[in-house]
């Protein structure tokens, strides 16, 4: 009975998982860009305070809940019988990609707390480069899931 229930909900679970991933990725693309701009404004300025609010709201209202939903729905998908061929190698690449994305998410969350305290441990140049990390990880994840090269 449980197996049929999971299998019957698979299309909905997959759709909701993709929606959660899209929302998570939108935030992961935008937050480092906010850090690029935030790192260039004077500490204590009106713009700095505005960036703090934007960063906090983006992380708490969009990125964190979307990541949680993506993880929960992704785990549900892999628990659905017949979805993953555990003998294939592609899922290792996907796992590395989403663990990397989750780690980068943690890095961004920690950076937000530092910006909140008016600390600037990283330069604008660093954040410009870091802004590309979610794109690289997303390409890896999508290729692993769609192409399944191994």
Q: What is the pTM of this model?
A: 0.92
> Is the model's pLDDT at 126 over the cut of 60?
yes
E runs forming strands in 3-115: none
Query: What pLDDT shows up at residue 82?
Result: 84
Span 106-126, average pLDDT: 96
Q: How far is CA 7 from CA 22, 44, 77, in A?
A: 23, 54, 9
Distance CA 129, CA 133 (A): 8
Which residue range is the domain that position 34 belongs to? Answer: 2-147
Annotated binding site: 17, 94
Annotated binding site for heme: 17, 94
Q: What angle do CA 51, 53, 55 make, to 5 degrees?
A: 65
**Structurally, how many domains does the chain consist of?**
1
Q: What is the pLDDT of residues 45-68, one digit of tens each?
A: 999 999 999 999 999 999 999 999
Q: What is the pLDDT of residues 65-110, one digit of tens each?
A: 999 999 999 999 998 888 888 899 999 999 999 999 999 999 999 9
């Amino acid at each position: 009975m449980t197996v049929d229930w999971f299998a019957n909900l698979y299309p909905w679970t997959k759709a909701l998982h993709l929606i959660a991933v899209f929302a998570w990725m939108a935030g992961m693309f935008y937050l480092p860009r906010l850090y690029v701009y935030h790192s260039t404004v004077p500490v204590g300025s009106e713009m700095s305070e505005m960036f703090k609010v934007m960063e906090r709201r983006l992380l708490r209202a969009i990125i964190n809940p979307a990541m949680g939903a993506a993880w929960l729905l992704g785990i549900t998908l892999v628990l659905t019988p017949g979805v993953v061929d555990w003998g294939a190698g592609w899922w290792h690449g996907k796992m590395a990609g989403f663990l990397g994305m989750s780690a980068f998410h943690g890095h961004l969350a920690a950076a937000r707390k530092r910006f909140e305290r008016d600390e600037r441990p990283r330069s604008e140049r660093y954040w410009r480069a870091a802004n590309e990390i979610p794109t690289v990880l997303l390409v890896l994840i999508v290729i692993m899931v769609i192409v399944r090269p191994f």
